[in-house]
Amino acid sequence: MDVVFIAPAYPAEMPEFTRGLAAAGARVFGIGDTPRHMLAPRVKEALYDYLQVPRILDEDDVLERAHAWLRGRNIDRVESQWEPTVILAARMRERFGLPGMSVDTVLGFRDKQLMKDRIAAAGLRVPYAYKCRTEAAMREAAEKIGFPLIVKPIAGAGSADTYRVDDAAMFDKVIRAVKRVEVVSVEEFVDGEEFTYDTVCVDGAPIYENVAQYLPRPLIARSIESIDPIICTVRDLTQPKLQDGLSLGRGVLGALGMGTGFTHMEWYRKADGEVVFGEIGCRPGGARLVDQMNYTSDQDLFLGWAQAVLGHRPRLAQPRKYNAAIVFKRAKGQGRITRIEGLDAFKARYHDRICAIDLLPVGTHRRDWTQTLISDGWLIVRHPDWNEAIATAEAAAKDIRIWAQ
């Protein structure tokens, strides 16, 4: 089977999806704006051919170049696992008359207001929200919803340009901060625990499901630099507190007409037990979440996704053996990393729980923690017991210290 895969080299997880497609038997035709000579060897090995374009986010230009490049070839599928290019993939499928989700279906996963409208129409609980293009519309929405509220981009990914607003003075500041964002959603703030619902689907039916918890929830983590955020997959999906969230997630997939592929959803569980939808994408979670899911069950979801896409019906419902937690480390100070303290002691104490460590080396300039969740590096640890997994992750957050100046 011949598969076009958009953005095979970026972001960081994309080479693994490229590898998965090739390992599942596909001839992979990559399209990206990474220069060919800069492709990692593992990406080059997995690609059958590659089209370099000037700007991968210039959809009209990419469509025309791809059309000319692929003329005379019998392409079977077009896939993308990166949020900004899922609409491009859908447009390409429609242009070439290929199977897969349509532009209208994918818009339901990309446009946050359309997403909520379609899910609410199915009788599922969503935050009260309004789509706003002007300051006047934002102020009118705030008047209807009341504080606290959330402001976020309609077509955003993750928590970028997302703000909790507690009062009118803060709202004035946020309005100025999002002026460059063309369309925003002004919505109800839902107070509660925040979880993910992740799936690999075949024709809309989940053949793999995952739940992970944010500790703390992203809006808090992205506001306080001293926090080292933790995300932990949940080993036991049968526990009662998760059942309404799982049911909500399955309902959302049906309401949005999910086809075949990865999904990543966020949802809230309020103190009174009510579950509320957050948002969903028809792609995997970023920031190494697929790696966490792999460590949870000792499996290869990059390959499993590819097998699903190619129609091979993979067996992905493997036993969940561990709670797998990722810890994102933030250096103290600004400038270049000067030293890392506590890592050797942590490794000696928890060596049998550590899955992976990827910290910026000494001498490297630290990253802007406001722009990337992975910050100055990360660790993944795991344990069959939830409390032990969280305690290990919290030890990594507290005892390992990265310094910069």
Whole-prediction pTM: 0.91
One domain, residues 341 and 290: no
Measure CA 169 to chain center: 31
CATH number, residue 150: 3.30.1490.20
Within a domain: residue 258?
A: yes
Residue 313, phi-psi category: left (phi > 0), alpha (psi -120 to 50), beta (remainder)? left
pLDDT tier for residue 326 given thresholds of 50, 70 and 90 = very high
Within a domain: residue 120?
A: no
pLDDT tier for residue 315 given thresholds of 50, 70 and 90 = confident
Within a domain: residue 289?
A: yes
Structure tokens that stand for 401 in this block = 């210290």
One domain, residues 198 and 285: yes
Give me the pLDDT at residue 301, please.
97
One domain, residues 217 and 138: no
- pLDDT above 60 (res 158): no
Relative to beta strand 261-269, strand 193-202 is: antiparallel
Within a domain: residue 116?
A: no
The CA-atom distances, in angstroms, between 245 and each of 194, 250, 284 are: 10, 9, 18
| Range scoring the smallest mean pLDDT among 60-64, 154-158, 190-194, 302-306 | 154-158
- pLDDT above 70 (res 107): yes
- pLDDT above 90 (res 355): yes
What mean pLDDT is reported for the chain?
95
Give me the pLDDT at residue 100, please.
96
One domain, residues 196 and 312: yes
- pLDDT above 70 (res 334): yes
One domain, residues 348 and 283: no
CATH number, residue 240: 3.30.470.20
One domain, residues 140 and 71: no
Please state, in angstroms and rounded to a whole number, the distance separating the CA atoms of residues 37 and 22: 20
Average pLDDT over residues 162-167: 91
Within a domain: residue 111?
A: no
Three-class secondary structure of residue 66 per DSSP: helix
CATH number, residue 21: 3.40.50.20
Give me the pLDDT at residue 311, please.
95
Give me the pLDDT at residue 156, please.
64
One domain, residues 201 and 289: yes
The parent domain of residue 60 ranges over 2-100
Give me the pLDDT at residue 157, please.
61
Question: Of 294, 318, 342, which residue constitutes the final position of a domain?
Answer: 318
Question: Of 285, 318, 351, which residue constitutes the final position of a domain?
Answer: 318
Give me the pLDDT at residue 161, please.
76
Within a domain: residue 358?
A: yes
Within a domain: residue 109?
A: no
**Contact partners, residue 211, CB within 8 Å, separation at least 6:** 195, 196, 197, 198, 233, 234, 237, 242, 245, 246
Within a domain: residue 117?
A: no
Residues 168-197 have pLDDT tens digits of: 999 999 999 998 888 999 999 999 999 999
Question: Of 318, 349, 379, which residue constitutes the final position of a domain?
Answer: 318
Count of domains observed in the chain: 4
- pLDDT above 70 (res 374): yes
Q: Are 181 and 152 in contact (CB under 8 A)?
A: no
